Amino acid sequence: MKKLLALVCSLLLVLPCFASAQEIPGLEDGVLTVAMECAYAPYNWAQPDDSNGAVPIKDSTLFANGYDVMMAKAICEANGWQLEIVQLDWDSLIPAVQSGIVDAVIAGQSMTSERMEAVDFAGPYLYATIVCLAKEGNANTQAKGISQLKGTCTSQSGTIWYDSCLPQVPGATVLPPAESAPAMLMAVESGTVDFVCTDMPTAQGALIAYPDLVLLDFAGSGDDFSVTDEDVNIGISIRKGNTLLLNAINAFLQDKTADDFNAMMADAIRVQPLSE
């Protein structure tokens, strides 16, 4: 009997301990407050109604939807939390989670070492390859690798697309960054630039909104962007030291595969407003 009790006690010591919402800093009310741009389809966008499972945006008459919203809903459902969406500009996202204004940022952020100095990351919750977009008729649509790209280009401010990828294109003139993903896409659609650099989900969503754009995917060509895992692993920002929330989100994500993520992204692309 003593041996049995000892075995039970030893097992209890190694079993995971799941915190209740009341024990997690910021979730005492059982609500996970998540920030995103609500302007970055297919990751997230704003729409006028709750169709296709959209969630109200705090202090707004609009609703948020997209891959990030779908993922946030799934995380909350798994943990018994309520979800609150806050709309913020891209450059305000990390400061908001640092200050505790929001509990998490789910907004298509790459898990870079620079960002990890400011926040902790749960995930990845998506793996995103790097691609380019050019408009039909532009010579860059015939490029077979980044060394063949020519002319002017841009990407969104504060992204690895702009900071790390575009400088790798030897024949390009990099113009100032666009303030947002929609502004970036409008730059190539309007002919302001010859091409833009982005990730695969953003490009796939853009093709629905702008069918005259051409996706340039150089994977496997030997003439592609050089990126690390931290560049293409997309994560969820958590305030530094909020280990209980970090662990709760990672517990949900740990059994998910790239195929699971891609299937959810396909659903988001299918219901983004301009796809209908």
Residue 47 lies in a domain: yes
Q: Which residue has the higher pLDDT, 6 or 269?
A: 269
241-266 CB burial, b ≥16 within 10 A, e <16: ebebbbbbbeebbeebeeeebeebbe
pLDDT digits (tens, 9 = 90+) for 196-210: 999 999 999 999 999
Residue 14 has a pLDDT of: 40
- Looking at the predicted structure, is the pLDDT value of residue 18 above 80? no
- Same domain, yes or no: 36 and 123: yes
Q: Which neighbouring-strand residues pair with 235? A: 109
Q: Specify the pLDDT at position 76.
A: 98
Answer yes or no: is 168 within a domain. yes
Residue 273, pLDDT above cutoff 90: no
Same-domain status, 34 and 95? yes
Q: Write out pLDDT tens, residues 39-55.
A: 999 999 999 999 999 99
Statement to judge: residues 113 and 176 lie in one domain = no
pLDDT surpasses 50 at 254: yes
Residues spanned by the domain of 145: 130-218
Mean of pLDDT values over 215-219: 97
Clarify whether residues 208 and 267 are in a common domain: no
Q: Determine what percent of the chain is predicted with pLDDT higher than 90.
A: 88
Q: Tell me the CATH number at 84.
A: 3.40.190.10
Same domain, 185 and 265: no
Determine the pLDDT at residue 20.
Answer: 66
**Same-domain status, 123 and 144:** no
Burial classification of residue 108, based on how many CB atoms lie within 10 Å of its CB (0-12 exposed, 13-18 middle, 19 or more buried): buried
For residue 1, pLDDT beyond 80: no
The pTM score is 0.85
Closest residue by Cα to residue 99 from 241, 239, 246: 239
Answer yes or no: are the C-beta atoms of 151 and 195 closer than 8 Å.
yes
Average pLDDT, the chain: 92
* The amino acid at 83: L
Which strands make up the sheet holding 44-47, listed edge to edge? 39-40, 44-47, 63-65, 55-56
CA-to-CA distance for 5 and 22, rounded, in angstroms?
31
**276 versus 26: which is more confidently predicted?**
26
Residues 69 and 113 in one domain: yes
Verify that 87 and 123 share a domain, yes or no: yes
> In this predicted structure, which of 13-17, 118-122, 164-168 has the lowest mean pLDDT?
13-17
Does residue 257 share a domain with residue 120? yes
Whether residues 76 and 197 share a domain: the answer is no
How many structural domains comprise the chain? 2
Which tens digits make up the pLDDT trace of 221-253? 999 999 999 889 999 999 999 999 999 999 999
Domain presence at residue 212: yes
